Structure 1
Protein backbone atom coordinates (compact mmCIF):
# COMPACT_ATOMS: atom_id res chain seq x y z
CA UNK A 1 0.00 0.00 0.00
CA UNK A 2 1.35 3.43 -0.98
CA UNK A 3 1.61 6.14 1.65
CA UNK A 4 2.68 9.77 1.43
CA UNK A 5 6.15 10.08 -0.13
CA UNK A 6 8.94 11.01 2.29
CA UNK A 7 10.70 13.13 -0.34
CA UNK A 8 10.18 13.78 -4.03
CA UNK A 9 13.54 13.34 -5.76
CA UNK A 10 15.50 10.11 -6.29
CA UNK A 11 19.06 9.82 -5.06
CA UNK A 12 21.51 11.57 -7.37
CA UNK A 13 24.20 9.23 -8.69
CA UNK A 14 26.95 10.45 -11.07
CA UNK A 15 26.30 9.13 -14.57
CA UNK A 16 29.79 7.60 -14.78
CA UNK A 17 29.19 5.58 -11.61
CA UNK A 18 25.75 4.54 -12.81
CA UNK A 19 27.17 3.28 -16.09
CA UNK A 20 30.11 1.62 -14.33
CA UNK A 21 27.56 -0.50 -12.44
CA UNK A 22 25.87 -1.39 -15.74
CA UNK A 23 29.22 -2.37 -17.28
CA UNK A 24 30.23 -4.50 -14.30
CA UNK A 25 26.93 -6.36 -14.29
CA UNK A 26 26.99 -6.78 -18.06
CA UNK A 27 30.45 -8.35 -17.95
CA UNK A 28 29.14 -11.22 -15.82
CA UNK A 29 26.58 -11.95 -18.54
CA UNK A 30 29.24 -12.02 -21.25
CA UNK A 31 31.47 -14.33 -19.23
CA UNK A 32 28.55 -16.73 -18.72
CA UNK A 33 27.84 -16.65 -22.46
CA UNK A 34 31.44 -17.47 -23.31
CA UNK A 35 31.51 -20.27 -20.76
CA UNK A 36 28.40 -21.79 -22.39
CA UNK A 37 29.75 -21.28 -25.93
CA UNK A 38 26.96 -18.94 -26.97
CA UNK A 39 27.28 -16.75 -30.04
CA UNK A 40 27.61 -12.94 -30.05
CA UNK A 41 23.84 -12.41 -30.01
CA UNK A 42 23.55 -14.68 -26.98
CA UNK A 43 26.35 -12.79 -25.24
CA UNK A 44 24.65 -9.45 -25.89
CA UNK A 45 21.33 -10.80 -24.64
CA UNK A 46 22.82 -12.10 -21.40
CA UNK A 47 24.79 -8.89 -20.89
CA UNK A 48 21.64 -6.78 -21.22
CA UNK A 49 19.72 -9.13 -18.94
CA UNK A 50 22.44 -8.96 -16.27
CA UNK A 51 23.10 -5.25 -16.61
CA UNK A 52 19.54 -3.96 -16.89
CA UNK A 53 17.20 -6.86 -16.12
CA UNK A 54 17.02 -6.17 -12.39
CA UNK A 55 16.04 -2.55 -12.92
CA UNK A 56 13.44 -3.54 -15.51
CA UNK A 57 12.02 -6.13 -13.12
CA UNK A 58 11.79 -3.44 -10.42
CA UNK A 59 10.14 -0.91 -12.74
CA UNK A 60 7.59 -3.45 -14.00
CA UNK A 61 6.75 -4.43 -10.44
CA UNK A 62 6.39 -0.91 -9.05
CA UNK A 63 4.69 0.58 -12.14
CA UNK A 64 5.48 4.12 -10.99
CA UNK A 65 7.97 6.71 -12.19
CA UNK A 66 10.29 6.29 -15.16
CA UNK A 67 11.56 3.06 -16.70
CA UNK A 68 15.35 3.25 -16.31
CA UNK A 69 16.25 1.42 -19.50
CA UNK A 70 14.21 4.01 -21.44
CA UNK A 71 15.09 7.07 -19.35
CA UNK A 72 18.90 6.65 -19.49
CA UNK A 73 19.77 6.67 -23.21
CA UNK A 74 23.32 5.45 -22.61
CA UNK A 75 22.46 2.38 -20.53
CA UNK A 76 21.42 -0.01 -23.31
CA UNK A 77 24.16 1.01 -25.79
CA UNK A 78 26.81 0.72 -23.05
CA UNK A 79 25.60 -2.76 -22.10
CA UNK A 80 25.58 -3.89 -25.73
CA UNK A 81 29.01 -2.37 -26.41
CA UNK A 82 30.41 -4.06 -23.30
CA UNK A 83 29.10 -7.41 -24.51
CA UNK A 84 30.56 -7.00 -28.00
CA UNK A 85 33.98 -5.82 -26.80
CA UNK A 86 34.42 -8.48 -24.11
CA UNK A 87 33.14 -11.23 -26.39
CA UNK A 88 35.54 -10.31 -29.19
CA UNK A 89 38.51 -9.42 -26.94
CA UNK A 90 38.09 -11.59 -23.83
CA UNK A 91 41.70 -10.94 -22.77
CA UNK A 92 40.48 -7.64 -21.34
CA UNK A 93 38.94 -9.47 -18.38
CA UNK A 94 41.09 -12.60 -18.32
CA UNK A 95 43.81 -11.08 -16.15
CA UNK A 96 42.14 -8.82 -13.54
CA UNK A 97 40.43 -11.70 -11.68
CA UNK A 98 40.17 -9.57 -8.55
CA UNK A 99 38.85 -6.46 -10.27
CA UNK A 100 35.69 -8.03 -11.69
CA UNK A 101 34.37 -9.36 -8.34
CA UNK A 102 35.00 -5.95 -6.78
CA UNK A 103 33.12 -4.17 -9.56
CA UNK A 104 30.39 -6.77 -9.34
CA UNK A 105 29.69 -6.34 -5.64
CA UNK A 106 30.03 -2.56 -6.04
CA UNK A 107 27.27 -2.66 -8.64
CA UNK A 108 25.15 -4.79 -6.29
CA UNK A 109 25.54 -2.14 -3.60
CA UNK A 110 24.60 0.68 -5.98
CA UNK A 111 21.64 -1.23 -7.39
CA UNK A 112 20.44 -2.10 -3.88
CA UNK A 113 20.38 1.58 -2.95
CA UNK A 114 18.81 2.85 -6.17
CA UNK A 115 16.18 0.11 -6.16
CA UNK A 116 15.21 0.80 -2.57
CA UNK A 117 15.35 4.54 -3.24
CA UNK A 118 12.83 4.43 -6.08
CA UNK A 119 10.28 2.63 -3.93
CA UNK A 120 11.08 5.01 -1.05
CA UNK A 121 10.54 8.11 -3.23
CA UNK A 122 7.07 6.89 -4.13
CA UNK A 123 6.11 6.18 -0.53
CA UNK A 124 6.14 2.38 -0.40
CA UNK A 125 6.52 0.55 2.90
CA UNK A 126 10.08 -0.17 4.13
CA UNK A 127 9.79 -3.91 3.42
CA UNK A 128 8.82 -3.19 -0.19
CA UNK A 129 11.72 -0.72 -0.50
CA UNK A 130 14.24 -3.33 0.61
CA UNK A 131 12.66 -5.95 -1.66
CA UNK A 132 12.92 -3.60 -4.66
CA UNK A 133 16.58 -3.06 -3.80
CA UNK A 134 17.15 -6.80 -3.93
CA UNK A 135 15.16 -7.12 -7.18
CA UNK A 136 17.35 -4.46 -8.78
CA UNK A 137 20.62 -5.87 -7.44
CA UNK A 138 20.23 -9.59 -8.10
CA UNK A 139 17.29 -9.74 -10.50
CA UNK A 140 19.51 -9.64 -13.57
CA UNK A 141 21.60 -12.57 -12.39
CA UNK A 142 18.47 -14.49 -11.48
CA UNK A 143 17.00 -13.95 -14.96
CA UNK A 144 20.33 -14.91 -16.55
CA UNK A 145 20.41 -18.24 -14.71
CA UNK A 146 16.76 -18.88 -15.55
CA UNK A 147 17.37 -18.26 -19.25
CA UNK A 148 20.29 -20.70 -19.12
CA UNK A 149 18.15 -23.37 -17.47
CA UNK A 150 20.03 -23.25 -14.17
CA UNK A 151 18.84 -22.90 -10.60
CA UNK A 152 19.46 -19.20 -9.86
CA UNK A 153 22.69 -18.75 -7.92
CA UNK A 154 20.96 -16.65 -5.26
CA UNK A 155 18.84 -19.69 -4.35
CA UNK A 156 21.86 -21.93 -3.80
CA UNK A 157 24.23 -22.30 -0.86
CA UNK A 158 26.92 -19.69 -1.42
CA UNK A 159 28.74 -16.79 0.14
CA UNK A 160 26.50 -13.83 0.87
CA UNK A 161 25.14 -12.17 -2.24
CA UNK A 162 21.40 -11.61 -1.94
CA UNK A 163 21.89 -11.40 1.83
CA UNK A 164 24.49 -8.67 1.29
CA UNK A 165 21.99 -6.83 -0.89
CA UNK A 166 19.30 -7.13 1.78
CA UNK A 167 21.69 -5.77 4.39
CA UNK A 168 22.66 -2.83 2.19
CA UNK A 169 19.10 -2.01 1.20
CA UNK A 170 17.88 -2.23 4.79
CA UNK A 171 20.69 0.12 5.85
CA UNK A 172 19.67 2.64 3.19
CA UNK A 173 15.99 2.58 4.12
CA UNK A 174 16.69 2.74 7.87
CA UNK A 175 18.99 5.74 7.48
CA UNK A 176 16.55 7.58 5.24
CA UNK A 177 13.58 6.99 7.53
CA UNK A 178 15.18 7.39 10.94
CA UNK A 179 17.93 9.99 10.45
CA UNK A 180 18.34 13.39 8.75
CA UNK A 181 21.17 11.98 6.63
CA UNK A 182 21.30 12.89 2.93
CA UNK A 183 20.37 10.31 0.29
CA UNK A 184 23.93 10.36 -1.09
CA UNK A 185 25.42 9.59 2.34
CA UNK A 186 22.85 6.81 2.80
CA UNK A 187 23.84 5.39 -0.59
CA UNK A 188 27.50 5.33 0.42
CA UNK A 189 26.55 3.53 3.64
CA UNK A 190 24.48 1.03 1.64
CA UNK A 191 27.38 0.23 -0.68
CA UNK A 192 29.77 -0.07 2.27
CA UNK A 193 27.50 -2.50 4.17
CA UNK A 194 26.88 -4.57 1.02
CA UNK A 195 30.60 -4.88 0.27
CA UNK A 196 31.45 -5.55 3.93
CA UNK A 197 28.91 -8.38 4.22
CA UNK A 198 30.14 -9.92 0.99
CA UNK A 199 33.81 -9.63 2.05
CA UNK A 200 33.16 -11.09 5.52
CA UNK A 201 31.30 -14.06 4.05
CA UNK A 202 34.20 -14.79 1.69
CA UNK A 203 36.93 -14.05 4.22
CA UNK A 204 35.49 -16.43 6.83
CA UNK A 205 33.73 -18.75 4.35
CA UNK A 206 30.28 -17.99 5.75
CA UNK A 207 27.57 -19.43 3.52
CA UNK A 208 23.81 -19.28 3.54
CA UNK A 209 22.34 -22.26 5.44
CA UNK A 210 20.48 -25.11 3.77
CA UNK A 211 17.91 -27.62 4.99
CA UNK A 212 20.74 -30.03 5.77
CA UNK A 213 22.40 -27.44 8.02
CA UNK A 214 19.20 -26.95 10.01
CA UNK A 215 18.68 -30.71 10.29
CA UNK A 216 22.14 -31.19 11.81
CA UNK A 217 21.50 -28.34 14.25
CA UNK A 218 18.28 -29.94 15.48
CA UNK A 219 20.02 -33.31 15.83
CA UNK A 220 22.72 -31.72 17.99
CA UNK A 221 20.07 -30.10 20.17
CA UNK A 222 18.54 -33.52 20.85
Structure 2
Protein backbone atom coordinates (compact mmCIF):
# COMPACT_ATOMS: atom_id res chain seq x y z
CA UNK A 1 0.00 0.00 0.00
CA UNK A 2 2.73 2.46 1.05
CA UNK A 3 4.87 1.42 -1.91
CA UNK A 4 1.99 1.97 -4.32
CA UNK A 5 1.24 5.34 -2.75
CA UNK A 6 4.86 6.46 -3.00
CA UNK A 7 4.97 5.32 -6.62
CA UNK A 8 1.81 7.29 -7.37
CA UNK A 9 3.28 10.36 -5.66
CA UNK A 10 6.43 10.04 -7.74
CA UNK A 11 4.48 9.75 -10.99
CA UNK A 12 2.28 12.70 -10.17
CA UNK A 13 5.37 14.67 -9.15
CA UNK A 14 6.80 14.11 -12.62
CA UNK A 15 3.50 15.23 -14.16
CA UNK A 16 3.51 18.36 -11.99
CA UNK A 17 7.07 19.21 -13.06
CA UNK A 18 6.01 18.64 -16.68
CA UNK A 19 3.14 21.11 -16.25
CA UNK A 20 5.37 23.67 -14.50
CA UNK A 21 7.83 23.43 -17.39
CA UNK A 22 4.98 23.86 -19.89
CA UNK A 23 3.90 27.07 -18.20
CA UNK A 24 7.47 28.33 -18.29
CA UNK A 25 7.84 27.47 -21.97
CA UNK A 26 4.50 29.17 -22.71
CA UNK A 27 5.85 32.33 -21.09
CA UNK A 28 8.87 32.05 -23.40
CA UNK A 29 6.48 31.64 -26.35
CA UNK A 30 4.77 34.91 -25.49
CA UNK A 31 8.17 36.61 -25.67
CA UNK A 32 8.87 34.88 -29.02
CA UNK A 33 12.16 33.38 -27.86
CA UNK A 34 14.20 30.60 -29.50
CA UNK A 35 14.10 26.91 -28.61
CA UNK A 36 17.12 27.06 -26.28
CA UNK A 37 15.41 29.82 -24.30
CA UNK A 38 12.25 27.70 -24.17
CA UNK A 39 14.24 24.82 -22.68
CA UNK A 40 16.11 27.01 -20.20
CA UNK A 41 13.00 28.81 -18.98
CA UNK A 42 11.09 25.52 -18.82
CA UNK A 43 13.81 23.89 -16.71
CA UNK A 44 14.01 26.84 -14.33
CA UNK A 45 10.24 26.88 -13.88
CA UNK A 46 9.98 23.13 -13.47
CA UNK A 47 12.77 22.44 -10.99
CA UNK A 48 13.93 25.87 -9.78
CA UNK A 49 11.99 25.87 -6.51
CA UNK A 50 13.05 22.37 -5.52
CA UNK A 51 16.66 23.20 -6.38
CA UNK A 52 16.73 26.23 -4.07
CA UNK A 53 15.08 24.13 -1.34
CA UNK A 54 17.69 21.38 -1.62
CA UNK A 55 20.54 23.90 -1.64
CA UNK A 56 19.21 25.54 1.51
CA UNK A 57 18.71 22.17 3.20
CA UNK A 58 22.19 21.07 2.07
CA UNK A 59 20.93 17.71 0.86
CA UNK A 60 23.37 15.05 -0.30
CA UNK A 61 22.27 15.58 -3.92
CA UNK A 62 19.92 18.02 -5.63
CA UNK A 63 16.77 16.01 -6.43
CA UNK A 64 17.06 16.24 -10.22
CA UNK A 65 20.74 15.29 -10.11
CA UNK A 66 19.85 12.22 -8.06
CA UNK A 67 17.01 11.46 -10.50
CA UNK A 68 17.56 13.01 -13.98
CA UNK A 69 14.01 12.03 -14.98
CA UNK A 70 12.87 15.44 -13.70
CA UNK A 71 15.32 17.19 -16.02
CA UNK A 72 14.24 15.04 -18.97
CA UNK A 73 10.59 15.86 -18.30
CA UNK A 74 11.36 19.60 -18.30
CA UNK A 75 13.25 19.39 -21.60
CA UNK A 76 10.49 17.31 -23.20
CA UNK A 77 7.78 19.73 -22.09
CA UNK A 78 9.76 22.73 -23.35
CA UNK A 79 10.48 21.24 -26.78
CA UNK A 80 6.87 20.14 -27.15
CA UNK A 81 5.70 23.65 -26.36
CA UNK A 82 8.08 25.14 -28.92
CA UNK A 83 6.63 23.01 -31.72
CA UNK A 84 3.02 22.82 -30.52
CA UNK A 85 2.52 26.09 -28.63
CA UNK A 86 -0.78 26.86 -30.36
CA UNK A 87 -2.19 23.49 -29.27
CA UNK A 88 -0.86 23.85 -25.71
CA UNK A 89 -2.53 27.27 -25.40
CA UNK A 90 -5.88 25.64 -26.20
CA UNK A 91 -5.70 23.50 -23.05
CA UNK A 92 -4.53 26.43 -20.93
CA UNK A 93 -7.50 26.10 -18.56
CA UNK A 94 -6.82 22.41 -18.02
CA UNK A 95 -3.16 23.19 -17.31
CA UNK A 96 -4.31 25.69 -14.71
CA UNK A 97 -6.05 22.93 -12.74
CA UNK A 98 -3.03 20.64 -13.04
CA UNK A 99 -0.81 23.50 -11.91
CA UNK A 100 -3.09 23.98 -8.89
CA UNK A 101 -2.72 20.32 -7.97
CA UNK A 102 1.03 20.52 -8.57
CA UNK A 103 1.72 23.48 -6.30
CA UNK A 104 -0.45 21.93 -3.59
CA UNK A 105 1.47 18.66 -3.69
CA UNK A 106 4.92 20.27 -3.98
CA UNK A 107 4.23 22.50 -0.98
CA UNK A 108 3.44 19.43 1.11
CA UNK A 109 6.30 17.30 -0.20
CA UNK A 110 8.76 20.17 0.21
CA UNK A 111 7.69 20.54 3.82
CA UNK A 112 7.99 16.79 4.36
CA UNK A 113 11.51 16.75 2.95
CA UNK A 114 12.56 19.67 5.12
CA UNK A 115 11.27 17.94 8.25
CA UNK A 116 13.17 14.79 7.28
CA UNK A 117 16.33 16.96 7.42
CA UNK A 118 15.39 18.03 10.94
CA UNK A 119 14.26 21.52 10.01
CA UNK A 120 12.07 23.31 12.53
CA UNK A 121 8.34 23.46 11.66
CA UNK A 122 8.53 27.13 10.65
CA UNK A 123 11.53 26.54 8.39
CA UNK A 124 9.85 23.44 6.93
CA UNK A 125 6.76 25.47 6.03
CA UNK A 126 8.95 28.03 4.29
CA UNK A 127 10.74 25.26 2.39
CA UNK A 128 7.37 23.97 1.20
CA UNK A 129 6.41 27.39 -0.13
CA UNK A 130 9.80 27.78 -1.81
CA UNK A 131 9.47 24.37 -3.46
CA UNK A 132 6.18 25.26 -5.11
CA UNK A 133 6.56 28.96 -5.95
CA UNK A 134 10.18 29.97 -6.46
CA UNK A 135 10.51 28.38 -9.91
CA UNK A 136 7.77 30.61 -11.31
CA UNK A 137 9.23 33.63 -9.51
CA UNK A 138 12.66 33.08 -11.12
CA UNK A 139 10.93 32.62 -14.50
CA UNK A 140 9.14 35.95 -14.14
CA UNK A 141 12.36 37.71 -13.14
CA UNK A 142 14.18 36.24 -16.14
CA UNK A 143 11.46 37.32 -18.55
CA UNK A 144 11.03 40.69 -16.82
CA UNK A 145 7.32 40.23 -16.19
CA UNK A 146 5.27 40.89 -13.06
CA UNK A 147 5.87 38.16 -10.51
CA UNK A 148 2.88 35.84 -10.24
CA UNK A 149 3.54 35.44 -6.50
CA UNK A 150 2.93 39.19 -6.08
CA UNK A 151 -0.40 39.13 -7.88
CA UNK A 152 -3.45 39.66 -5.63
CA UNK A 153 -4.88 36.25 -6.53
CA UNK A 154 -4.55 33.54 -3.90
CA UNK A 155 -1.42 31.59 -4.87
CA UNK A 156 1.22 31.69 -2.15
CA UNK A 157 -1.54 31.31 0.44
CA UNK A 158 -2.43 27.98 -1.14
CA UNK A 159 1.11 26.74 -0.56
CA UNK A 160 1.11 28.09 2.99
CA UNK A 161 -2.10 26.20 3.72
CA UNK A 162 -0.69 22.94 2.38
CA UNK A 163 2.61 23.28 4.24
CA UNK A 164 1.07 24.41 7.52
CA UNK A 165 -1.61 21.72 7.40
CA UNK A 166 1.03 19.05 6.91
CA UNK A 167 3.00 20.24 9.93
CA UNK A 168 -0.07 20.54 12.17
CA UNK A 169 -1.54 17.17 11.16
CA UNK A 170 1.85 15.58 11.74
CA UNK A 171 1.93 17.01 15.26
CA UNK A 172 -1.52 15.50 15.80
CA UNK A 173 -0.15 12.08 14.89
CA UNK A 174 -1.89 11.64 11.53
CA UNK A 175 -0.05 8.98 9.51
CA UNK A 176 2.03 10.08 6.53
CA UNK A 177 -0.27 8.85 3.75
CA UNK A 178 -3.39 10.46 5.19
CA UNK A 179 -1.44 13.60 6.08
CA UNK A 180 -0.19 14.12 2.51
CA UNK A 181 -3.63 13.45 1.06
CA UNK A 182 -5.45 15.76 3.46
CA UNK A 183 -2.92 18.61 3.33
CA UNK A 184 -2.53 18.66 -0.45
CA UNK A 185 -6.30 18.30 -0.92
CA UNK A 186 -6.96 21.28 1.34
CA UNK A 187 -4.47 23.41 -0.59
CA UNK A 188 -5.86 22.27 -3.95
CA UNK A 189 -9.43 23.01 -2.84
CA UNK A 190 -8.46 26.54 -1.80
CA UNK A 191 -6.81 27.15 -5.18
CA UNK A 192 -9.88 25.80 -7.02
CA UNK A 193 -12.20 28.04 -5.00
CA UNK A 194 -9.93 31.03 -5.59
CA UNK A 195 -9.95 30.43 -9.33
CA UNK A 196 -13.68 29.72 -9.56
CA UNK A 197 -14.85 32.63 -7.42
CA UNK A 198 -11.94 34.92 -8.37
CA UNK A 199 -10.97 35.35 -4.74
CA UNK A 200 -8.43 38.09 -4.12
CA UNK A 201 -6.71 39.69 -1.18
CA UNK A 202 -7.29 43.45 -1.02
CA UNK A 203 -4.26 45.39 -2.23
CA UNK A 204 -2.71 48.18 -0.24
CA UNK A 205 -3.77 51.55 -1.65
CA UNK A 206 -1.15 54.22 -1.16
CA UNK A 207 -3.56 56.85 -2.49
CA UNK A 208 -5.84 56.31 0.52
CA UNK A 209 -2.95 56.94 2.90
CA UNK A 210 -1.90 60.04 0.98
CA UNK A 211 -5.44 61.41 0.96
CA UNK A 212 -5.70 60.82 4.72
CA UNK A 213 -2.48 62.74 5.30
CA UNK A 214 -3.69 65.58 3.09
CA UNK A 215 -6.93 65.84 5.06
CA UNK A 216 -4.96 65.91 8.32
CA UNK A 217 -2.84 68.76 7.01
CA UNK A 218 -5.93 70.66 5.87
CA UNK A 219 -7.62 70.26 9.27
CA UNK A 220 -4.66 71.63 11.18
CA UNK A 221 -5.28 75.13 12.60
Q: Aligning the two structures, in what range does the TM-score lie when normalised by the shorter sequence?
A: 0.7 to 0.9
The structure number with the bigger radius of gyration is: 2
State the 1:18 CA deviation.
1.6
Q: Deviations over 1:183-217 (max 9, x none)?
A: 2221111221111111222233221232219958x
The question of whether the paired residues in 1 share the 8 Å contact of 2:100 and 2:192 is answered with: no
Between the aligned partners of 2:204 and 2:89, the Cα distance in structure 1 is: 36
Give the corresponding residue for 2:216. Answer: none
Secondary structure of 2:192's match? helix
TM-score by length of 2: 0.86
Alignment partner of 2:176 out of 178, 183, 199: 183
Q: Deviations over 1:40-60 (max 9, x none)?
A: 011101110110000001011
Question: Which structure features the higher share of helix residues?
Answer: 2
Determine if the alignment matches structure 1 residue 165 to structure 2 residue 159.
yes
TM-score by length of 1: 0.85
Structure 2: runs of 5 or more not aligned: 213-221
Alignment partner of 1:193 out of 186, 199, 202: 186
Between the aligned partners of 1:214 and 1:183, the Cα distance in structure 2 is: 48
CA separation of 1:13/1:183 partners in 2, compared to 1, >3 Å: closer, same or farther?
Answer: farther
Give the corresponding residue for 2:105. Answer: 110
Matches within 5 A, 1:200-219: 200-212=193-205, 215=208
Secondary structure of 1:160's match? coil
The question of whether the paired residues in 2 share the 8 Å contact of 1:112 and 1:190 is answered with: no
Between the aligned partners of 1:46 and 1:144, the Cα distance in structure 2 is: 6
Task: State the structure with bigger RCO (CA 8 A, min sep 6), 1 or 2.
Answer: 1
Structure 1: runs of 5 or more not aligned: 1-10
Between the aligned partners of 2:150 and 2:114, the Cα distance in structure 1 is: 24
The question of whether the paired residues in 1 share the 8 Å contact of 2:97 and 2:192 is answered with: no
